[in-house]
Structure 1
């Protein structure tokens, strides 16, 4: 066949849609995997236009990847300069092409208004390996650019005795843009060549039309190269809407005479963006990362070396390799490498030992106890990551109830006299103005109540805290006590624990509950101020009511009695928290492992298909759904007996459902096999797009190793004796759209991926190998201060061994990439350059 262009090559694997429903995905290479991920931080917007009659807007952002909505931020009410500060990491297929940010204005009574958009292509992101970071102007939405989907075509040159003809067969299209109110379109195809035009029939109410029509044109003697295929949405009253086009260069057909495949639809001619710069701007930080992950055995030498060094370091005074990594890791990537190392050592059961080595390295460099763990060192960043990875569920149990109470009560709370707003009090007809002192007194009572609730929750949470966290704090407490044994430093070992638990874990979650998944939406201004004051109070407790904290914000004095009581409560809590023996640690860890088998749970609306009868929206039932590592189960309430379950091994696809199928855009489907191996579908209705994508992500992750996953599915439902998406009349016919198993949202409680973490650590160490060499030579010369570094041949050998392992891994990756037939030359260059 004719050598395919990039557009066709990208989509050719999807031709398995014509295969039986159980067709398998074909990996890029049986021995390796390519994994792409996007780090996205939506920071803030500014100078947005007013969309409401009040002269303001209620903005939020929607993020689309390949035209599919993946993320929706919280709405920031009544502002033209919203701050979101939301971070996401998305795993996705390497062949994604566009990332779009739409800024919307939320309306309660009508459809939300589109303010503008920012679009980043894959090629733009690839040009910024350290990430794109900055302000981008919003541009106006051009309907001719809002295209999506693909079309299946076959182009051939047919020779007859009299002449040559160009034949264009138009089979079907998928995932077309929805232009009509019913959530679909009425698409038809217009084929143009040499001034002549042919049009297909119109397929009503479908974004997955099937035409199976062919059109012929006489081949021009001068051989005009361009054949244009356009897809349009037919409208009876208004003008037809453009859905996208494909332009075929016929020059390549002179040799092979035939071309067939799926082609991505391209936009039409875009008009000049006259409003660019007038619609405001969006501050973003986006980083694309492509990784070639090798089989596990290739990373074993690196993992074994790091673990061996860690074991030596844990038994001795310090670790040379860990010390080198600590000294040479820049502030720019410290958080990332800290998270990778924590996850790697968690998978090896050595996270506590790793943190202990970092604690000792930090303590050796600290002479003033008041500055201990106050910097953003590798030790501090690693401990932060450890608490998030291992303690998110614990955080939700402890902090969640108080946060929810604050959101529900919406009390006005202010202690700072310079910020107090005088307001009216009393019932209608008896209004009077509250004095400043009355407001502060009332605010102090509210805050005391919230702080007391939180401290009680912390005090009762000893047994709820994961055993690995308790053991790590025990080790930290011990090391700090050994470093500062004087009586005047008695509080230092307590503050070392609270500096992480209160200042870097509880307090940030209280200030920004949305970012820690404690709430679905950001707090309004009043609630946000209450949360900030509570976070300050818990910080003061964590600082053991240090005089410096009191002097800094003297207006916090009304809370002083509660803070002082909290200090003694927190000390007692820490003493109980670290009172854990090795045997108890192991027993608690086993119990913890049993508890954390629940990956996700919650109330959802469920519909289960039956072999007979029609699909009715009213058939949805509210059930409590629980996802474990083995099965998806259903019950009436969280405490009632499970009514049914689906083993994860039987799941074949997890995908979204078209909005028009149920009149709701937040429905997903689970396609699974029953006891007789027949395919059945289960539909889950979620509250919002974020909940939908969270459930999809969780299910896709636990089913990642399932066999016989489908590569096609129906995004509609079988209703009225046909599929609502493609109008096919056989229930068991192959799906009309490709599945998207690769797209998932990363979360702190994700299952560990040791190979990926090892790859990321390798890439980091390889990139800083020169700095490692220089620092190693510098430390080796310090004979007086640290003789073992220059005299111990094993330590020298470990450094040499590390560099050899890094070189071997680099050579192996280059070899895999060079031999892979499925990667284009440009992609190889990009991957090799990383």
Structure 2
């Protein structure tokens, strides 16, 4: 193990080796509920519902499940997106759906990307606004601007100025690429206070790669600038002042339009407003990209000129939507920078005692923070194929610290949370294939299983409900106890490790071994998934009250039976109405079935199967099939797309014309060679292709997020099938884990609590009583040898964190030097540019000691790097 610790971290994305800094946009959304909606009266129609649609710019990324016909619907959606594209607007639309009628919009809530950070990690109510097409503005334009002094006869002279405007190119507009030639712009020079327009010119765009003389230019004669406006401003200040709030009394407004076909109307795409502040603003010809902004209404222009921000008074109330948003941009370095941190984590598995290691110190952090670091830790050890020694060490420490064997692994300890996240990560498909068939049947049949006489509805039969509950519980138990062949090899190896460690401390105690397995497999995995099928990815919709009650009763039966197997005796009866059901299942046949299940699933060489006794649908949805047709008379290859309802199972991918209709085609996953995204003109990042030995089939999803889900799930399913045939537990080939990103998340947690680690270090060095009262868990380390090991671990954490943060500062400095504000990838008005600095301001490393300064970056150095980075940014603007 010691030799492995020094090995560099492998398996990171190839692109990260070629660039020093990667930016990963992450968006977390929680759609809680709505209130005060103006819904139509639905009567007794079951199909009347309220739906929430989430859009990123103009692309739909998610649509919530159907909610009840009420003005106060509850959604309860928790969404996580690793964004594949840049965006400007995040919008939430609420629609009132009624059968045989057009969906009526109830309102929307729209956020600009830079505004999301204001509401980070806060559940807040947001007022719904009426839909207004003018505010749905995306896209960007490339402008060439220059300004020269002129005399009255047109020659260069001190006095008036002539502004030259050329529309070079447009991009990402809400129109097909074939209509791009019809786009034109209207350039106006206006007074800020009155809105009076001095001149208007019409411009046509040309492609940026073409010669610029093909795009016509507009010329505007401007009056002389005053001395106050002639003060020199740096480019960074000019960029910030872009908009109607600039200091200049004149501004350039360029609006983009196109004529609608077969109509006399025009479509507005957005506008750019540039204040004309100083004579040297455009001394040299400047070509730059700008984001389009919504039209500024006349009332808003007057109110802003007067300094009044309350321009939304007396707005009609359309209801409110409760949301929680979190948008972050993680800055990930190349893998070589994280070798020190990874070596530190891997060495923790060999530290004696383990409670003095780095991993143990991380577990002493507040539970909210340790919860954030659990999943990155698990993913990192899975990626590196060190998960079994990781689990072995955690289980050993948990058993040593446990005082009552009956509560072993029943609490929310650090070890329990790590193993639970491991089961969710590795065993999700196993969970779906085991429970989903019975779960779908319960949702579809909706039979009542209520057996509590105080809660049963009038007209229902207690005998019939008991029979329904017994049938559902029996079928669910059979699916669970016969599922060992579907369990991934890595999970079986982990269960064997847990059982061997338990047998080491409790020899000849099979009941304790079964207790450990039951605590995770039954209590935390199957039972928890039955109670929350949506959060575990088993269903897309929330269960209603009747189905929730049925699932709760089935869970009681399974948990009770599991406890009966572990204890070997009947337990006390707390709920009298459940006694007949428990007596039905508390027999020797069910006990032996569970015992055999625990024994088989914890066997390293257990049986596995790539086929299932019943087909389990892992994912289904709408995709568009693309086929190439023969070339036309001009030699162009034509293609056609047709909507298909597609299904993904454990063995195949097939599609139908409509849901539950006859199959039109299928692909066996064993024949799949390659699955990858496919770029196609006008389709963005919604296309992917599946390559087999017989050919290639292209598919288009409804959104880029949906495409990513299809590709990721199909890849995992194919790789799992291959691993089952190879009988190997190497899960690094199944899960596409970004190890660099996981280690970066661990580093950020350590950085947030760097001051806590410094205080702990002071405590063990000075043994001050004030710190002992503040950190009571540290008082248990009394042995001098243990205290010395803890001091070494804390010193390693501090040095590693400081060193890695220094590398971050250097990487950000280089990134700021290379970035060009106003390029196509970073247009003027792109607020992702500002998010690059947020990490530097949020995580400021405190001043370290003289000894730490020899091995770590000091605050002064980081502060100098920040200043240099911002100066470089202004120079590149």
Contact 1:139 1:275 in 2 (8 A): no
Change (3 A) 1:275 1:555: farther
Equivalent-residue separation in structure 1 for 2:70 and 2:523 (angstroms): 30
Q: In the alignment, is the contact (CA less than 8 A) between 1:144 and 1:269 conserved in 2?
A: no
Tell me the equivalent position of 1:304.
Answer: 343
Q: Alignment partner for residue 378 of structure 2, among 342, 360, 363?
A: 342
* Structure 2 residue aligned with 1:446: 468
Q: What TM-score, normalized to structure 2?
A: 0.70
Aligned to 1:744: none
Match of 1:353 in 2: 389
- 1:79 matched to 2:79? The reply is no
Q: Does 1:262 align with 2:289?
A: yes
Quick one: structure 1 residues 509 and 273, their matched pair in 2 at CA, closer, same or farther if it must change by over 3 Å? farther
Q: Per the alignment, in what secondary structure is the counterpart of residue 23 of structure 2? A: strand
Q: Find the counterpart in structure 2 of residue 607 from structure 1.
A: 626
Q: What is the aligned partner in structure 2 of residue 731 from structure 1?
A: none
Structure 1 residue 682, shift from structure 2 partner: 6.4
Structure 1 position 190 matched with structure 2 position 186: yes
Q: Is the Cα–Cα contact under 8 Å of residues 203 and 218 in structure 2 kept in the other structure?
A: no
Task: Identify the residue that residue 510 of structure 1 maps to in structure 2.
Answer: 530
| Pairing of 1:46-125 with structure 2 (within 5 A) | 46-54=35-43, 58-92=49-83, 96-125=87-116
1:291 is the counterpart of 2:330: yes
Instruction: State which of 397, 403, 408 in structure 2 corresponds to 1:372.
Output: 408
Which segment drifts farther, 110-119 or 337-346?
Answer: 110-119
In structure 1, C-alpha distance between the alignment counterparts of 2:408 and 2:762, rounded to whole Å: 28
Partners of 1:520 and 1:366 lie apart in 2 by 39
* SS of match in other structure, 1:607: strand
Task: Output the CA distance in 2 between the equivalents of 1:45 and 1:85.
Answer: 10
| SS of residue matched to 1:421 | coil
Q: Separation in 2 of the partners of 1:63 and 1:830?
A: 26
- Aligned position for 1:575: 599
| Equivalent residues of 1:342, 1:382 under 8 A apart | yes
Contact 2:67 2:75 in 1 (8 A): yes
For the pair 1:684 / 2:684, whether they are aligned, the reply is no
Kept in 1, the 8 Å contact 2:380–2:742? The answer is yes
The answer on whether the counterparts of 2:21 and 2:333 sit within 8 Å (CA) in structure 1 is yes
Partner SS, residue 148 of structure 1:
coil
Contact 2:16/2:334 (<8 A) preserved: no
* Residues in 2 aligned to 1:454 and 1:150: alpha-carbon distance in whole angstroms: 55
Give the equivalent residue in structure 2 for 1:753: 738
- Within 5 A, what are the aligned runs for 1:324-473? 324-328=361-365, 330-422=366-458, 434=459, 436=460, 438=461, 440-473=462-495
What is the deviation of 1:38? Answer: 1.6
3-state SS in 2 of match to 1:609: strand
Question: TM-score, normalised to structure 1's length?
Answer: 0.73
Matched-pair contact (CA < 8 Å) for 2:409–2:519:
yes
Pairs within 5 Å for 1:116-155: 116-127=107-118, 131-155=121-145
Q: Distance in 1 between matches of 2:451 and 2:189?
A: 74
The CA deviation at 1:149 is: 2.0
SS of 1:48's equivalent in the other structure is: coil
User: Is residue 170 from structure 1 mapped to residue 188 from structure 2 by the alignment?
Assistant: no
By relative contact order (CA 8 Å, sep 6+), the higher-ranking structure is 1
Select between 263-272 and 755-764 the one with higher mean Cα deviation. Answer: 263-272
Pick which of 85-94 and 70-79 moved more. 85-94
- Which one of 744, 748, 762 corresponds to residue 747 of structure 2? 762
Indicate whether 1:803 and 2:798 are aligned.
yes
Q: CA RMSD in A?
A: 4.8
Which of 519, 523, 532 in structure 1 is aligned with 2:539? 519
Aligned equivalents of 1:656 and 1:541: distance in 2? 57
3-state DSSP of counterpart to 1:34? strand
- 8 Å Cα contact 2:81/2:705 also seen in 1: no
Partner of 2:809: 814
Gap change, CA 1:482 and 1:673, over 3 Å in 2: closer
- Conserved in 1, the CA contact under 8 Å of 2:25 and 2:329? yes
2:582 to 536, 560, 571: 560
Q: Deviations over 1:612-635 (max 9, x none)?
A: 14746576778878999xx99999
The corresponding residue for 1:706 is: none
Larger radius of gyration: 2
Matched, 1:218 2:220: yes
What is the CA deviation profile of residues 120-165 of structure 1, one whole-angstrom value per residue up to 9, with x for unaligned ones?
Answer: 3333333466x33333333333332222222333333477762654
Q: Name the CA distance, whole Å, in 2 between partners of 1:450 and 1:27.
A: 50
Q: CA deviation at 1:564?
A: 2.1
1:765 Cα deviation from its structure 2 partner: 1.5
The one-character-per-residue Cα deviations of 1:306-340 (angstroms, maximum 9, x if unpaired) are: 11121345xx6655222211112x12233221101
Question: 1:714 — aligned with what?
Answer: none
Match of 2:499 in 1: 477
Structure 2: distance between partners of 1:693 and 1:114: 28
Mapping for residues 193-204 of structure 1, pairs under 5 Å: 193-194=189-190, 195=197, 196-199=199-202
How many angstroms apart in 2 are the aligned matches of 1:655 and 1:356? Answer: 51
- Call closer, same or farther: CA 1:554–1:104 in 2, change over 3 Å: farther
Matches within 5 A, 1:16-31: 30-31=19-20
Change beyond 3 A, Cα 1:278–1:29: farther
Write the distance in 2 (CA, Å) between the matches of 1:384 and 1:787. 32
1:68, CA displacement in angstroms?
2.8
Q: Is the 8 A contact 2:761 2:791 kept in 1?
A: no
Post-superposition offset of 1:760 = 0.9
Does residue 321 (structure 1) correspond to residue 358 (structure 2)? The answer is yes
1:683-832 maps to which residues of 2 (within 5 A)? 683-686=698-701, 691-692=706-707, 694-695=709-710, 751-775=736-760, 790=785, 796-820=791-815, 821-822=817-818, 826-832=834-840
Counterpart check, 1:540 vs 2:567: no
Measured at CA, do residues 105 and 542 of structure 1 come closer, stay the same or move farther in structure 2, by a change above 3 Å? farther
Question: What count of residue pairs does the alignment treat as equivalent?
Answer: 712
Equivalent residue for 2:25, pick from 36, 41, 54: 36
Q: Write the deviation string for residues 189-230 of structure 1: whole angstroms up to 9, x where unpaired.
A: 332224233446899xxxxxx997535243122466311112
CA contact (8 A) 1:177 1:185 kept: no
Distance 1:801 1:63 in 2: 45
Q: Deviations over 1:416-441 (max 9, x none)?
A: 3333222xxxxxxxxxxx3x4x2x32
Aligned residue for 1:695, secondary structure, equals: helix
Contact 1:34/1:94 (8 A) holds in 2: no
